Chain A
């Protein structure tokens, strides 16, 4: 299992090198979006409206941070359960989304679509949100401010630690991990 340093926007040549279980330190711009934000993005796509940001080669972080204490860009931040976003994901992959950060497994449909689009799903560790907040250098709400913690935030991150769960070859870390350690 290797450690990769990757800069957003994501490049196919770099994604090809990632294997399940690899550690990635991600830097650059990423965007938060969770349930309600996804719902609105999909509504906008259906209505043929322009999205608040260009998703091409970008990374979505399924996260809603705690409020920023004085002097900090953001409060504690960490991944939410990714499978709730499965039903919204295919149209976003179609318009160029390349990476997603969450926790927990994706369904078969999303996994196949990721493989087709050479997109990658990363896990961030859930419940280490004070630690992850240190990797966030700035945060700006760019859409749906009325959603509060569910608003879309543009984050500048430096060396955000994530782990490759689904690589471009269709591998799945959760399946392999359980297979290796299961008894009986």
Chain B
């Protein structure tokens, strides 16, 4: 049994929140650069250039990349040989978010109730998903998830007969009707299989895969490539002003599913694709 103190968790979450919101990841920067080089639309190239310039300004002035510093989604992988001491694990996560959002001058974007809508004032609660895994480590991933792209996400229960074509149509149509709302170029996270909540969570986990990393199963790697190609022929382009680069990536995650079902979910991620992780 290995002990991890909640103080350490608070500090880690605090730093991850600030870091993820200020520094655009290098893999995202590299892909935006290559998309700019290939973009045929003048205004599209300008937009991609400004996104890169913004990443520089954000980093050097310690300002958030985007004013929407998101709902804080937290993925925990808790080793079964870990013992958390010093208080509640989830309270430590919330406290880390509270401190990070206050000290990092990040926007507080959470309302207490979906209808009464009073801002909680500190971006809590975080939305925490916990997985128990073998080992004696604690892995914390924080995903500041913007509202504009989250609003363009959707889950649907298709039937097995709709098959691969049905899934492809659903995904492509989701991107098409989203237009400029999710701040293209986007990363498209696709969850297929499982149950309703499983495919939705798979789509969320898909958006944090490193750019350029294909699915290990060649069938799904091919699906990712063909979806990306088709999406980039829609003409939407950077910020939907028209152009080639509508998506930076498409990532597919799959699970087994019921004989009656073909669940599919799309989680849209804007070009300000942010997450940070740490292992304690």
B234 touches A182 (CB 8 A): yes
A126 touches B270 (CB 8 A): yes
The residue of chain A having its C-beta at the shortest distance from the C-beta of B240 within the complex is A174
Interface of B is mostly: loop
Nearest CB on A from B88, distance (A): 26
A103 touches B43 (CB 8 A): no
Nearest CB on A from B174, distance (A): 15
Query: Which single member of A125, A148, A177 contacts B237 (CB below 8 Å)?
Result: A177
Contacts of A130 in B (CB 8 A): 54, 57-58, 61, 63-65
A163 touches B43 (CB 8 A): yes
Instruction: Bin the interface of chain B by size.
Output: 35 or more
Within 8 A of A (CB), among B60-118: 61-69, 105-109, 117
A182 touches B68 (CB 8 A): no
Query: Which single member of A66, A134, A177 contacts B241 (CB below 8 Å)?
Result: A177
Contacts of A129 in B (CB 8 A): 54, 58, 63-67
Query: Which single member of A68, A83, A104 contacts B240 (CB below 8 Å)?
Result: A104
B54 touches A127 (CB 8 A): yes
B239 touches A103 (CB 8 A): yes
State the CA gap A21–B240 with chains docked (Å). Answer: 11
State the CA gap A127–B236 with chains docked (Å). Answer: 17
State the CA gap A76–B64 with chains docked (Å). Answer: 6
Nearest CB on B from A65, distance (A): 5
A77 touches B50 (CB 8 A): no
Closest 6 CB pairs of A and B: A177-B242, A182-B235, A181-B235, A128-B54, A104-B181, A126-B183
A sample of 9 more A-B contacts (CB under 8 A), given A76-B58, A125-B239, A174-B180, is A21-B43, A63-B67, A78-B67, A125-B47, A127-B271, A129-B64, A130-B63, A148-B119, A174-B240
Can you list 20 A-B contacts (CB < 8 A)?
Answer: A64-B109, A76-B107, A103-B180, A104-B148, A104-B240, A105-B240, A126-B66, A127-B271, A127-B272, A129-B54, A129-B58, A129-B63, A131-B53, A148-B119, A149-B119, A178-B235, A178-B237, A179-B235, A182-B235, A183-B233
